[in-house]
Structure 1
Amino acid sequence: MTLPTDDVPPGTQTLARGLSVIRAVADGAHGLREIVESTGLGRSSTHRLAQLLVVTGFLRHDNRGYTLGPALIELGFKALHGNPLPLVARPVLEELSATVLDTVHLAVEDGGSVLYLDKLPGSRGAEMRSRIGYRMPLTRAGVGKALLLDAADRWAGQYAADEAALPPAARRGELDEFLTRMQTYARAGAAMDLEDNEPGIRCVAAPIRDASRAVVGAVSVSATTPYMPDERMRGLIPVVRRAAGRISAALGYQAT
């Protein structure tokens, strides 16, 4: 997508166009025509930018078209390891995964959406679509609700924004029900995904806090519905909260 003109600092238009090409490819535009349609740039400009990005390793071009290149993979790993949360959390996530046998996620809020930083697939049930680097609406994902637990003033506005961004057929329009659920989750210190995000998938999530007591991430346990009856979900609340608490403590959080 092309950045709005007002958001581009003077003298950086070419950089902005190049970044919009990378974003278009990341979002699934693999052919030159698709990139042009996604970015709104001219065909010749798009082609020149794509050629430069291939030469510098930010894109790759083969018989499948354009895909993200090795330079982005390298930078992505550096960015990931520049954040202490995934490194601190990993041993706890591995232990939690071995205990519950289901998929374990680590996520943060980034740009008003959920960003998955780590995923340990479960050993049973169907594979879910989440992956490291994947984004989801905050109010649909269990980890997203956990990230919002301390921000009651954001619940209604975030729900409205997430619904507006979805196709009409996917919207629910059940704000009152969402707010009631969030109030319950805030009291419990953990949130749930009751197939809000993906049909047949349920999860229990808890927030991670740092030394300032701010919510900086969330951890969740997810599984297909047969492995997540209501009773088990309630039983997982203290398990997931303990895991989140251990990660929080490693980040300097001290519970009162």
Structure 2
Amino acid sequence: MDANPSPVESVDRALRILQLLSRSATGLTLDELVSASGLPRSSLHRLLAALKHRGFAAQYNSHSPYFLGSEAVAVAFGYYERMDLRTLIRPVMVTLQQRLQETVHMAMLDGGDVVYMDKVESTQAMRITSVIGGRNPAHCTGVGKAMLAWTYPTDEAIRMWIEKYAPLTGRTRNTLTSPARLIAELARIRDEGHAVDMEESEDGVRCVAIPVFFGKPAPVAGISVTAPKGRMTVGRMNEIAAELKREVIERMPPGSD
């Protein structure tokens, strides 16, 4: 378990128990919880009783294993149903803009398009046509490809998406308009964990993007960093990709298996 001390030990212990229960689909016995948590049996029994009282832990009978309770599931799903993605992601966008000094977008996938939900402008001079509420074809943009790669995680799934939203229109001479090339690019994105836009949506503009999962199997949004190609060398794009991954993985839960 985490060796860092918690400011409130009893609360920390209860949260550790919830973490352990959430990782076992078949439940954990009291002995297994004692072994995994390192907590004294008597303390663990009291904490489990409190969690059961609030519905965050469950037990079929006094001799059965402990499971994550229905209230824990209700709280989690209720939160996801009501969460305001823009409010949650905005602090990450601001942090990235301050560190990188480039424009940061947050977008969502809507059919064949991405819709820009938020934008933090670069402090450096640049011209970019994106606006909040605006749309772009998903296959033309880094943020769109980042979401497509995991929303449609197999070649067959993306072929069906392409058939539905065909043709793959070209915005610039660099746009991927061939289904085979797009399928190969999405496979590369899944391997590397990030997407790039090499002037595929606008001439002279490049971006790096990653998906945001918030614990769900498919992306709920995507975040991109955009800049003129003069500031977006391949080396810097790799550095930005690493920064995006560090910031988002640290502050937002990855997708579930």
Same fold (TM over 0.5): yes
Give per-residue Cα distances to partners, 1:59-78, cap 9 Å, x unaligned: xxxxxxxxxxxxxxxxxxxx
List, as ranges, runs of 4+ consecutive aligned residues in structure 1 with deviation greater than 4 Å.
159-163, 167-172, 253-256
Q: Note the C-alpha offset of 1:98.
A: 0.4
Q: TM-score, normalised by structure 2?
A: 0.60
Q: How does 1:107-146 map to 2 (within 5 A)?
A: 107-146=107-146
Deviation at 1:214, TM superposition (A): 2.4
Map 1:68-83 to 2 at 5 A.
none
Deviations 1:190-225 (A, max 9, x none): 101111111111000000002333210000100000
Distance 1:254 1:199, change over 3 A: closer
Question: 1:144-193: per-residue Cα shift (whole Å, max 9, x none)?
Answer: 00111211344334445555274799776433322222211111111011
Aligned to 2:219: 215
Equivalenced residue count is 172
Relative to structure 1, the CA distance from residue 190 to residue 94 in structure 2 (aligned partners, 3 Å threshold; closer, same or farther) is same
Asked whether 1:206 is paired with 2:219, we answer no
| Residues 172/97 of structure 1: CA separation in 2 closer, same or farther (3 Å cut) | closer
Cα RMSD (Å): 2.6
What is the rounded CA distance, in whole Å, between the counterparts of 2:172 and 2:233 in structure 1? 27
Q: How does 1:57-206 map to 2 (within 5 A)?
A: 84-150=84-150, 151=152, 152=154, 153-159=156-162, 164=167, 166=169, 173-206=177-210
Contact 1:92/1:246 (<8 A) preserved: no
CA offset at residue 238 of structure 1? 1.3
**Secondary structure of the residue that 1:182 maps to in structure 2?**
helix
Quote how far apart the aligned CAs of 1:239 are: 0.8
| Shift, 1:106, TM fit | 0.3
The sequence identity of aligned pairs, in percent, is 27
Unaligned residue ranges in structure 2 (runs of 5+): 1-81
2:143 and 2:209 in contact (8 A); partners too:
yes
Asked if structure 2 preserves the Cα contact closer than 8 Å seen for 1:105 and 1:120, the reply is yes
**Pair 1:102–1:180, CA change in 2 (3 A):** same
Matched residue SS, 2:252: helix
CA distance in 2, matches of 1:169, 1:206: 22
1:159–1:175 CA contact under 8 A, matched in 2: yes
One-letter amino acid matched to 2:234: D
Distance 1:159 1:246, change over 3 A: farther
What is the CA distance between 1:109 and its match in structure 2?
A: 0.9
